[in-house]
Amino acid sequence: MVTVSEIQTEAEFEEVAPKKPWSRILMDLCRKQPLGVFGLAIVIAMILAAVLANIVSPYDPLQEHYEAMLAPPGTDSFLLGTDEFGRDILSRLIYGSRTALLVGFVCAIIGATAGLVLGVASAYFGGLFDLILQRILDVFMAFPLIILALAVVATLGPGFQNVMIAIILPFIPQCARVVRSNALAIREIPYVDAARALGFSNARIILRHMVPNVMAPYLIMLTTFLGQAILLEASLSFLGLGVQDPVPAWGLMLTNASEFFEGAPWVAIYPGVAISLSVFGFNLFGDAVRDTLDPKLRSR
């Protein structure tokens, strides 16, 4: 039996809990999720690089230094060398983090959110709507990620926005599928019935009662998408179907690298390191989010 005093202590607890110093919370986190904290550090470093790009980068990423084409790292304060047009690689990498982060966040958020809405609606309405929607999602899920993205880019043409659409589209069914299966279980819980019996509108039941309860799978999918989107953009740009020159983008920087890399390996090495490191960071962070939110989903 719960007594009044117990409830009071619980209330006190809630007040006390947030007062835990930040350093302590960080320490706890480091102990429980060392890989996740490492990932978060990479992500934060990347965000800082993107935000402060015009302060920290030594050169203009678009400026071509014809006197120093394919200069090796270290010459004339080109810390990581220059590319075939004499553009400073370090500056291009720093500015490239803007492209990567923008694509990553926009695609992950839109893709996951659209999936959330479709998934919950599909589970809530059920019946014919669910059946048809699921068949449509089946169709999209039958394509490997990059092939669907490739087909969309082929249709819309290359370019920044089109690449983002090509990345978002395959994400939606993935998230919708996961959210739907979670939402199906929630629909059976009595409080949804109660809400319906009270005559609440469908929109209200979906938004207030069902969506908050599928936040865990939603956030998990969202963090997984972050890394995937960056990788996919890099692959499409590498194939020449993504972001177009002279926009600094990591995948694009590798497109011509194979022509020069015998004589100038740095052109090929650093952008790949940047891609790998950032996706690595996002994935580690995503894994930690997954472990924290739902230990049962730790399957992949």
- Which pair of tokens denotes residue 219? 């956030």
CA atoms of 50 and 270, how far apart (whole Å) = 17
Q: Which is nearer to another protein, 166 or 175 (CB)?
A: 166
| Residue 196 or 292 having the CB closest to another protein | 292
Burial 269-294 (b: 16+ CB within 10 A, else e): bbbbebbeebbebbbbbbbbbbbebe
Nearer CB in complex with another protein: 86/265: 265
Token pair listed for 21: 């110093």
Return d(Cα 112, Cα 110) in angstroms, integer: 6
Closest CB 60 distance from another protein, rounded Å = 26
Provide, rounded to whole angstroms, the least separation between the CB of residue 268 and another protein.
5
Residues that bind another protein (CB under 8 A): 34-35, 135-136, 138-140, 142-147, 150-152, 154-157, 227, 231, 234-235, 238-239, 241, 251, 254, 257-258, 261-262, 265, 268-269, 271-272, 275-280, 283-284, 287, 298-300
Kindly tell me which of 24 and 135 has the beta carbon lying closer to another protein: 135
Q: Are 283 and 227 in contact (CB under 8 A)?
A: yes
Distance CA 262, CA 79 (A): 19
Instruction: Give kind and range of the element (H or E) at residue 149.
Output: helix 145-156
Whole-number minimum distance, CB 161 to another protein, in Å? 16
Q: Compare residues 56 and 151 and give the one whose CB is closer to another protein.
A: 151
Q: What is the DSSP letter of 244?
A: P
Phi, psi for residue 84 in degrees, rounded to 5: -65, -15
Residues 6+ apart with CB under 8 A from 59: 65, 78, 87, 88, 90, 91
Distance in angstroms (rounded) separating the CA atoms of residues 6 and 63: 67
Nearer of residues 90 and 241 to another protein, judged by Cβ: 241
Residue 287's region, left for phi above 0, alpha for psi from -120 to 50, else beta, is alpha
Residue 20 Cβ vs another protein, minimum distance, rounded to whole Å = 24
